[in-house]
């Protein structure tokens, strides 16, 4: 029996060489080599919003609107309130006069409303308190409107965002 096989049999997941080997395996190969995961967990992104928090004034179900207003907020945070243009925000929009906190509240609400799952993880527990974790699937928004936007090409997403920016100018 090789050293790696011995480490695998003992589930010594702290060993960097064993972890490197496991990292190269597919999920199926890992399951065959080590066995089924001891448990599964889903880690959700904490959006900073919950059902009882109400709906912010600038909340919107259209992901393109949220991306556009977020670009405005990020530009102002990054470059200051007096510098309203950058490569990501080339000219003033309908949200430039809105307080940044109101825009950020809308963005946090949007993450919550999208029911965005960060990652599903399989976890194997090992010797001496060690563990090995592997991303096992679903990630991204689960709400249909957000999921559909997420599945668009980058070009189509950008087009929708630009439409939202133009509409924000009235």
| pLDDT of the residue at 95 | 93
Decide: 117 and 4 in contact? Cβ < 8 Å: no
Range of the domain at 88: 39-122+134-168
Instruction: Give per-residue pLDDT as tens, 30-80.
Output: 889 888 999 887 766 555 676 677 889 999 989 999 999 998 998 888 877
How much is the pLDDT for 45? Answer: 59
Residue of higher predicted confidence among 90 and 99: 99
Residues 29 and 47 in one domain: no
pLDDT of residue 159: 86
Is the same domain home to 31 and 77?
A: no
CB atoms within 10 A of CB 17: 11
pLDDT in tens, 109-152: 887 888 766 677 889 998 888 898 988 776 667 777 877 887 88
pLDDT at 162 over 80: yes
For residues 4-14, give the mean pLDDT.
79
- The total domain count for the chain is 2
* Residue 102: per-residue pLDDT: 94
Whether this prediction's pTM lies above 0.75 is answered by no
Report yes or no on 69 lying in a domain.
yes
Check whether residue 26 and residue 50 sit in a common domain: no
3-state class (DSSP) for residue 123: strand
pLDDT of residue 12: 85
Same domain? 139 vs 55: yes
């Amino acid at each position: 029996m090789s050293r790696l096989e011995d480490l695998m049999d003992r589930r010594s997941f702290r060993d960097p060489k064993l972890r490197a080997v496991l990292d190269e395996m597919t999920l199926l190969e890992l399951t065959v080599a080590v066995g089924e995961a001891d448990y599964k967990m889903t880690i959700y992104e904490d959006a900073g919003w919950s059902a009882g928090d109400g709906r912010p004034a600038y909340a919107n179900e259209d992901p393109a609107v949220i991306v556009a207003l977020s670009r405005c907020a990020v530009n102002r945070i990054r470059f200051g309130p007096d510098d309203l243009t950058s490569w990501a925000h080339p000219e003033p929009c309908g949200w430039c006069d809105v307080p940044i906190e109101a825009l950020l509240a809308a963005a946090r609400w949007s993450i919550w409303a999208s029911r965005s799952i960060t990652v599903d993880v399989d976890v194997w527990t090992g010797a001496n308190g060690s563990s090995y974790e592997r991303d096992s699937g679903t990630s991204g928004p689960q709400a249909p409107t957000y999921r559909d936007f997420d599945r668009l090409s980058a070009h189509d997403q950008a087009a929708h965002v630009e439409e939202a920016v133009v509409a924000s100018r009235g």
